[in-house]
Amino acid sequence: MTTAISINSLTKKYGMKTVVDNISFSIKEGELFGLLGVNGAGKTTLIKMLSGLTKPTTGDATLLGKSVTQSPEQVRQVIAVSPQETAIASNLTVRENLELMAGIQGFNKEEGKRKADEMIAQFSLQPYENQRGKTLSGGWQRKLSIAIALISEPRILFLDEPTLGLDILGRRELWAQIEKLKEKTTIILTTHYLEEAEALSDRICIMKNGQMKALGSAKELIETSNKTSFEDAFVYFVTEGDVQ
């Protein structure tokens, strides 16, 4: 399996404060990679650097061979981001949101319409396709948000808290959708729901104070920490564990 993302000594400082501290690891193509940590761990800043939204203070990362510091425009051609907030155009309909993003990503009108049809079918959005974004329930807004991110057929997808605020059924449904994406997309998932990370991720990175505290599959992290559950393992790493 080839490397999709290679992170090399990535550091971000705001003034004297180091938010991401010398992080290095790589993610394979097709992998679903979980990024965990308590609030302020540096997950969002790391994602912002990888998606070209923020420049690293030092270090670099390559996404499918393209450097985030040297060629951020090329990086933007292969990635998509589904932010923590639903990030949809609230007064546009579901279909208009999808077609807008398809057009922005460079598809012509016919292709955009076809891509929107595909996303509407894939996420079962048919009953709502002519409904405005702001009138959808939280769950459907989240689905639309992910559908918008996927319309460009990104090779790397960043999902920031994709199930935040959803009930258990909504979360399970979205998990099933995310599982399906694994086949052809590399996914970087941040979440506060540990069971979500455990259920979906091939590997998990646990961050604390901008540093990587642990890296491995959920099973490996449980074993390394000598705990019986993933939740206990997570607590171990963010309270006393060291880099493994």
Partner 1 sequence: MRILLFANRTTKEIVRDPMAILFGLGFPIVLLLLLSAINKSIPVDLFNITELTPGIAVFGLSFMALFAAQVVSKDRESSFLTRLFTTPMTSKDFIIGYSLPLLLMSVVQGIICYIVAIILGLSISTSMFMAIALLVPPAFIFVSLGLICGTLLSEKAATGLSGALLTNLAAWLSGIWFDLDLVGGLFKNIAYVLPFVHAVDMGKAAMSGQYSDIFPHLWWVLGYAVVLTVLAIVLFKKKMKAD
Residues near partner 1 (CB under 8 A): 48, 51-55, 73, 76-77, 79-92, 96, 100-101, 103-106, 132, 148-149, 152
Q: How far is the CB of 188 from partner 1 (least distance, A)?
A: 13
Longest dimension (CA), the chain: 56
Q: What is the distance, to the nearest Å, from the Cα of residue 6 to the centroid of all Cα atoms in its chain?
A: 16
In this complex, which beta carbon is closest to partner 1, that of residue 68 or of residue 197?
68
In this complex, which beta carbon is closest to partner 1, that of residue 79 or of residue 206?
79
Whether 6 contacts 61, CB under 8 Å: yes
In this complex, which beta carbon is closest to partner 1, that of residue 105 or of residue 225?
105
Which candidate, 94, 126, 96, 128, places its Cα nearest to that of 109?
96
Q: How far is the CB of 78 from partner 1 (least distance, A)?
A: 11
Q: How far is the CB of 62 from partner 1 (least distance, A)?
A: 17
- Per DSSP, the three-state class of 186 is strand
In this complex, which beta carbon is closest to partner 1, that of residue 133 or of residue 210?
133
- Per DSSP, the three-state class of 220 is helix
- Per DSSP, the three-state class of 175 is helix
Q: How far is the CB of 7 from partner 1 (least distance, A)?
A: 17
Distances (CA, A) of 133 to 147, 169, 223, 225: 13, 21, 44, 44
In this complex, which beta carbon is closest to partner 1, that of residue 47 or of residue 205?
47
How many angstroms separate the CA atoms of 85 and 169, rounded? Answer: 20
- Per DSSP, the three-state class of 210 is coil
Q: How far is the CB of 71 from partner 1 (least distance, A)?
A: 13
Q: How far is the CB of 230 from partner 1 (least distance, A)?
A: 29
- Per DSSP, the three-state class of 214 is strand
Q: How far is the CB of 94 from partner 1 (least distance, A)?
A: 14
How many angstroms separate the CA atoms of 187 and 156, rounded? Answer: 6
Which candidate, 101, 86, 93, 95, places its Cα nearest to that of 152?
101
In this complex, which beta carbon is closest to partner 1, that of residue 44 or of residue 225?
44
How many angstroms separate the CA atoms of 146 and 125, rounded? Answer: 12
In this complex, which beta carbon is closest to partner 1, that of residue 87 or of residue 235?
87
